[in-house]
Amino acid sequence: MTFCLDSTIIKPINDNKINNAIILLHGYGGDGKDISMLSLNWKRHLTNTIFICPNGHEKCLINPSGFQWFDLSKDDPEYILEESMKAENRLIKFIDEVKFKFNLQNEKICLVGFSQGSMMSINLGLTSQKEYNCVIGFSGKIINQEDLRLRKKISTNTLLIHGDSDQVVSPNFLLEAKDFFIRNNVPIETHLIKNCDHHIPVEASSIALNYILKKI
């Protein structure tokens, strides 16, 4: 079976039985191979987990060798919301394919994203029919709070991590997201990493891994 999104797949060590899946969503201009680097350490601790890292459904306009989940060429919130919904629908189809292929339900799936991928993970974690095991977002934000509030159906456990020196996605968005989650009764944990810009340092990766180990 092929998926509707081209993906980098890292199978469990020693071909162990697959009990869980972690779906890793890259940032703007990245690809599945980029974000799959998180699995290099994680897979040693998550021996029955498959890591699936799809490419975004569109080529990135500013980096043709990379991909995007939605276009950022227009500074128009309504346009960005519309484009992100297209990506969300494609990801819903993709996740359904993953669930069917590996005989998994939402509670056995973690959604992990960086930057734009974090934004998509947050939306999916609150608007799906059933809760996921958890959502982890690095350096992201909520795309549109009013839209998410209206479409919210579930309350997936969520961890958000952000660098305090991020010049691409302001760390203020971490505080805004935390406030949104608390007001909407969603279990939320946040971490602000000191002297960290727009990337995933070892400290953030370790925090995320420990969070997953508690949930799976």
- pLDDT at residue 94, rounded to an integer: 98
d(CA 139, CA 117): 9
- pLDDT at residue 1, rounded to an integer: 65
Which has more pLDDT, 120 or 1? 120
Average per-residue pLDDT for the chain: 97
Q: pLDDT tens-digit profile of 114-172?
A: 999 999 999 999 999 999 999 999 999 999 999 999 999 999 999 999 999 999 999 99
Q: What is the mean pLDDT of residues 77-87?
A: 97
- pLDDT at residue 169, rounded to an integer: 98
Quick check: 14 pLDDT over 80?
yes
Q: What is the mean pLDDT of residues 89-107?
A: 98
d(CA 24, CA 51): 7
Q: How far is CA 124 from CA 59, 151, 183, 203, in A?
A: 21, 10, 18, 25
Q: What is the CATH code for 7-137+200-215?
A: 3.40.50.1820
d(CA 151, CA 94): 20
Contact between 119 and 141 (Cβ < 8 Å): yes
Contact between 115 and 141 (Cβ < 8 Å): no
- Give the number of other CB atoms < 10 A from CB of residue 8: 19
Q: Quick one: which of 135, 185, 194 has its CA closest to 160?
A: 135
Q: pLDDT tens-digit profile of 187-211?
A: 999 999 999 999 999 999 999 999 9
Q: pLDDT tens-digit profile of 49-81?
A: 999 999 999 999 889 899 999 999 888 999 999
Quick check: 113 pLDDT over 70?
yes
Q: pLDDT tens-digit profile of 16-58?
A: 999 999 999 999 999 999 999 999 999 999 999 999 999 999 9
- pLDDT at residue 2, rounded to an integer: 87
Q: What is the mean pLDDT of residues 102-107?
A: 98
pTM: 0.98
